[in-house]
Chains A and B, each alone.
Chain A
Amino acid sequence: QKEVEQDPGPLSVPEGAIVSLNCTYSNSAFQYFMWYRQYSRKGPELLMYTYSSGNKEDGRFTAQVDKSSKYISLFIRDSQPSDSATYLCAMFPEAGGTSYGKLTFGQGTILTVHP
């Protein structure tokens, strides 16, 4: 079983739609959860990060973490064509060990928002 699984899509939605992106993971040690956006041949751009379970909102973006189900989500409201990119989930364990900060990434979901 892969440590982090993410449906690669592609996902195509009309402008204004609500987008739901998801990842599942198997390592219960993961405590920090990140979402990145990546354009072709560019570096990952941090969108949001959360610690442990719960929700976090930033503008049109909402991140949710359900540690009991080992499931994380990113919601994009009022999606725009400029949101078209690959979205990567990534996570790492609690502080105090050598693996602190070692991000394990999902495959990435390719999103296209068409006008």
Chain B
Amino acid sequence: EPEVTQTPSHQVTQMGQEVILRCVPISNHLYFYWYRQILGQKVEFLVSFYNNEISEKSEIFDDQFSVERPDGSNFTLKIRSTKLEDSAMYFCASSGIAQFFGPGTRLTVL
């Protein structure tokens, strides 16, 4: 059964460093998303991506964040200068209609 995959599963970084989180969506899906979940809180939408451009982004998704689909299979989230408050689980999702989530990347900013 096709699934969304994400790498790495856990990323530890120093405050101010850049991180890139990687995702491989389900191959025939056209819509791609990033969400995050701070420990103990609800899952929050960050950004949606369709037809090689951002469809919508949340207030969280400021200039420090960017997304890219560098080839036909990968979808990445870059955080340019990480802050302590960026520590969270980051989930990639893809959809036709129903959204399927990856296992997540746990980002720890020290």
Contact = CB atoms under 8 A, between A and B. Distances in A.
Interface stretch (B11-19, B43-51, B65-73, B79-87): B43-51
Contact of A34 (B50, B55, B99, B102): B99
Q: How large, as a class, is the contact surface on chain A?
A: 20 to 34
A46 B45 contact: no
Contact of B43 (A41, A46, A90): A90
A98 B102 contact: no
Given A41-B89, A49-B97, A49-B98, A102 B103 contact: no
B102 to A, nearest CB: 5
Interface string A36-54: 1000011111100100000
Interface residues of B, number: 25
Interface of B is mostly: strand
Interface string B34-58: 0100000011110010100001100
Contacts of B48: 98, 100-102
Given A98-B55, A100-B55, A46 B99 contact: yes
A105 B44 contact: yes
Interface string A102-115: 11111110000000
Interface string A64-104: 00000000000000000000000010100000001111111
Interface of A: 32, 34, 36, 41-46, 49, 88, 90, 98-108
18 contacts: A41-B106, A43-B4, A43-B101, A43-B102, A44-B91, A46-B98, A46-B99, A46-B100, A90-B43, A98-B48, A100-B31, A101-B95, A102-B33, A102-B56, A103-B45, A103-B99, A105-B43, A108-B42
Interface of B: 4, 31, 33, 35, 42-45, 48, 50, 55-56, 89, 91, 93, 95, 97-104, 106
The 8 closest A-B pairs by CB, nearest first: A43-B101, A105-B43, A98-B56, A43-B103, A44-B101, A49-B98, A43-B104, A105-B42
